[in-house]
Amino acid sequence: MPTATVTARALLLDMDGTLVDSDAVVERCWRRWAARHGLDGDHVMHVVHGRQGHLSMALLLPDRPMEVNLQENRAMLADETADTLGIVPVPGAPAFLAALSGQPHALVTSADEALARVRMGAAGLPLPETLVTAESVGASKPDPEGFLKGAAELGFLPADCLAFEDSGAGISAALAAGMRVIGVGPRALAHPATHHVDSLEQVRVEAQPDGGLRLTLG
């Protein structure tokens, strides 16, 4: 990819697929769920990335009462939290987060806080001080609420923030919030992020004298 340079005042980071490679766990849990409901596993996996579980269930089983989805999602979260086999950092994530130490950044994830803490810990990654998790919002990605809340908690306007995402739902949410978006990894390529990188190994972060951040991509 050609080199690009972008600036921002703060970064808002998705977790699964962006910082943490949890695909093995997600595949195991959601394919079991798909089999129980007689659904095609490949189709289910196409839907679930980036969204809260109960919203994915609502899209996949649209005639089912939401209270059933919420109940099953609680069980799904318990299964996912208990399963850390195969969780690793996305390439470049440790150095990327180390470069952000002391700089304004937040985690904006569709996981609940317990799952976020388990997965970041299993990947050996530091948890940002500012967390926007499933409990923090009333609407899941692709709704922009989580990114808007993350910007507000850090004290910056959405236009001053740069989001990092891997999923279509997450990229749509960040764009709807009025932010530029760096799409990370192959899953992001199908969606209209502002820039794409193959991995976080292609991102270099430099703090600027004015307090902003300069990022070199590529």
Q: Which residues are catalytic?
A: 14, 16
The span from the CA of 164 to the CA of 116, in Å, is 16
The span from the CA of 139 to the CA of 147, in Å, is 11
The span from the CA of 35 to the CA of 31, in Å, is 6
The span from the CA of 183 to the CA of 23, in Å, is 17
Taking alpha carbons only, the member of 161, 56, 64, 159 closest to residue 110 is: 56
Sheet order of strands, 203-207 included? 4-8, 213-217, 203-207
The span from the CA of 59 to the CA of 54, in Å, is 9
Residues 184, 166 contacting (CB under 8 angstroms): yes
